[in-house]
C-alpha cells in the first residue's frame, strides 16, 4: 500500500494532567502516516481522488482546538478515528510528541496504528 504522510505538524493547545497545564497552551508535534492507494489520483491528476495532506493537517489542528483532554492517548485516539472516518485511508499511524513535558528528555509522546 502507498503512503501519504505529514511530518512534525506543530499545534499549540491546552493539554495535560496537571492544573498548571490547563492555564496555557503547549506545543505538540504530529507525525502522520496514512496508507492509501494513490494510483487513481496519479492517473487522473485530481486532488479530489487524493488524500489531501493539507486538509488532514487542518482537521488535526481543528480537533486539537475543539477538545480539551488530559492525556495524549485520548487526543491521538480521537484523531485516528477522525482520519479513518473522513479520509480514504486504510490505516493510519499517528505519533504525537510533547517536547516541553519532561525537562530531561528531548521529547516524549505516544504512537498508535489504527485500521478501518
Residues of this chain that bind ligand LV4SOB2L (CB under 6 A):
16-18, 21, 71-73, 98, 101
What is the chain's Cα-based Rg? 15
Q: How far is the CB of 92 from ligand LV4SOB2L (least distance, A)?
A: 19
- Beta carbon of residue 24, minimum distance to ligand LV4SOB2L (angstroms, whole number): 13
Annotated catalytic residue within 22, 43, 55, 98: 98
For residue 98, indicate whether it is catalytic: yes
Distance CA 23, CA 91 (A): 35
Nearer to ligand LV4SOB2L, 37 or 73 (CB): 73
Residue placing its CB nearer to ligand LV4SOB2L in the complex, 2 or 73:
73
- 99 Cβ partners below 8 Å, 6+ apart? 27, 29, 106, 107, 108
Cell numbers at residue 32, please? 502522520
Distance, in Å, from the CA atom of 85 to the CA atom of 102, rounded to the nearest integer, reads: 33
Residues annotated as catalytic (active site), given as ranges: 98
Amino acid at each position: 500500500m502507498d503512503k501519504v504522510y505529514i511530518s512534525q505538524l506543530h499545534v499549540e493547545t491546552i493539554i495535560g494532567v496537571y492544573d498548571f497545564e490547563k492555564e496555557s497552551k503547549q506545543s505538540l508535534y504530529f507525525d502522520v502516516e496514512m496508507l492509501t492507494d494513490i494510483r487513481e489520483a496519479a492517473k487522473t491528476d485530481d486532488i479530489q481522488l487524493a488524500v489531501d495532506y493539507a486538509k488532514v493537517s487542518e482537521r488535526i489542528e481543528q480537533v486539537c482546538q475543539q477538545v480539551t483532554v488530559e492525556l495524549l492517548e485520548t487526543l491521538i485516539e480521537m484523531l485516528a478515528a477522525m482520519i479513518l472516518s473522513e479520509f480514504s485511508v486504510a490505516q493510519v499511524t499517528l505519533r504525537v510528541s510533547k517536547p516541553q513535558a519532561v525537562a530531561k528528555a528531548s521529547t516524549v509522546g505516544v504512537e498508535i496504528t489504527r485500521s478501518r
